[in-house]
Chain A
């Protein structure tokens, strides 16, 4: 409890045992008629100190996944290991104390309206049996940590949405968890507040070395703070990897969603070709030169060039006559530029 904050290890070297590990995780809800498979063989590992995003449409299994990580939901098969403890094997009584190693932040914050801010943050400590005097000290520390030291005696109803979420984060951190699970933490917030909350989460990771798993449907959140990301669909992992790799991978669906280009209206006899590149492979001006070489019939209709996770990536939409597509693709490939007919 009293371990000085600075003593926590920062991000550990590669190859250390992952902080969170899911192996062949399956969750099936039996319903009359047919079984609903919410999670269908998920393998996932998150290294200590990483911020890992889990994205997917609603119904993809994100919520079930996070409930399995808290032990609120028992997997049908497979294993869930958090901070060295195999949650999926623990009996309910041991699970309760294991949950103190896990902090959770909710979309709707779920503060207790009948308690003051300080009492809300103290609740998990109360549950853990921390003596009152120690609780008060820790609560003051936590509220300072999230910048709400002066609102200790306020009730949740007196706070703004962003402030409430700060309290939610302070509460989640009360028992010094190794892992912070965030379930759509900013989905109910405006964009300025979202940025503040995300900055806070990143700052806490940097200072406390905590591992963060963040569920979201907002790609902006992933771009802003995630080190790595998993795309779930129908209970399966469709794509995953460090953000830099994912955005640089040609044809990656995550890249397409993380670096979106607008949908374009298409004229008669015209086609769209999509060019994707990373400056690790080819410089922007070489790509543009290759495009310019295609002639005046080929227009750059839309494009994005961004630096994400330390990697500069670009996507261009070329609008060209339908009968020139094959030739254009051939010339672009010859110039070492990845291009394909845009799927829409």
Chain B
């Protein structure tokens, strides 16, 4: 039997891989969406309140900065376990892909917020000044100039974040988060079935490549420089 037949005829793969793939895609999709929804405004806040920003606020800037740095410092495995009570409170359980969304989102928000902040910092201050001279308000400058001009970099940052989430989602499998990670660990690793392991890694690779390609194409279409 060739290795391919072994993969194709593996009953665990046949029965569980589709479901596990769905779970991984679902938890990455939902946590990516939530991360973008919270991380983007947070990144804008970091940029705007920083010294020399549109609305410098020393206190807000340092508090948010510290929180974000702390969030980024906690190893994901620890974060996942530490927030279990919070996860239970939000989702009602700490098991399954729905529950995994909570730590994934909490872990990715500070990461993405920093990437957004960096993207905004790359927008030339001259453009902001030009908008101000033209009588634009700060709110309008944030949406119409800062975020819009930085959009290719913001999308590129989201691509990096989503790919990181794919990796973290596999880790979430360790504590019962479901998905490809759980399948790879419980069948591939603990039951010594290399085929399952290979299949899981292959699907994850395809997911990562797909995200990267879509992200690159989107960023390129948005980039008129």
Contacts and interface: CB of A to CB of B under 8 A. Distances in A.
A110 B127 contact: yes
A331 interface: no
Given A108-B126, A112-B127, A157 B137 contact: no
A102 B148 CA distance: 25
Given A112-B145, A155-B224, A123 B131 contact: yes
A106 B124 CA distance: 13
A112 to B, nearest CB: 6
A122 to B, nearest CB: 11
A110 B126 contact: yes
B225 interface: yes
Which interface class (under 10, 10 to 19, 20 to 34, 35 or more) fits A? 20 to 34
A114 B132 contact: no
Interface string A84-127: 00000000000011011010101010111111000000011011
B123 to A, nearest CB: 9
Contacts of A171: 134
B225 A157 contact: yes
A230 interface: no
A72 interface: yes
A120 to B, nearest CB: 10
A157 B149 CA distance: 13
A215 to B, nearest CB: 14
A179 B132 CA distance: 16
Contacts of A156: 224
Given A108-B126, A113-B149, A113-B224, A96 B131 contact: no
B49 to A, nearest CB: 18
Given A72-B129, A108-B124, A113 B135 contact: no
A72 B127 CA distance: 14
B57 interface: no
A114 B224 contact: yes
Given A96-B137, A128-B135, A110 B151 contact: no
A303 to B, nearest CB: 42
B133 A104 contact: yes
A300 B127 CA distance: 52
Interface string B72-89: 000000000000000000
A114 B149 contact: yes
Nearest to B137: A96
- Sorted nearest first, the 3 A-B pairs with minimum C-beta distance are A110-B130, A155-B224, A124-B134
Given A72-B132, A113-B225, 4 more contacts: A70-B133, A99-B132, A112-B127, A113-B224
Interface of A: 70, 72, 96-97, 99-100, 102, 104, 106, 108, 110-115, 123-124, 126-128, 155-157, 171, 175
21 contacts: A72-B129, A100-B134, A100-B135, A104-B134, A106-B129, A108-B126, A110-B126, A110-B130, A111-B127, A112-B145, A112-B148, A113-B225, A114-B151, A114-B222, A123-B134, A123-B136, A127-B131, A127-B134, A127-B136, A127-B140, A128-B135
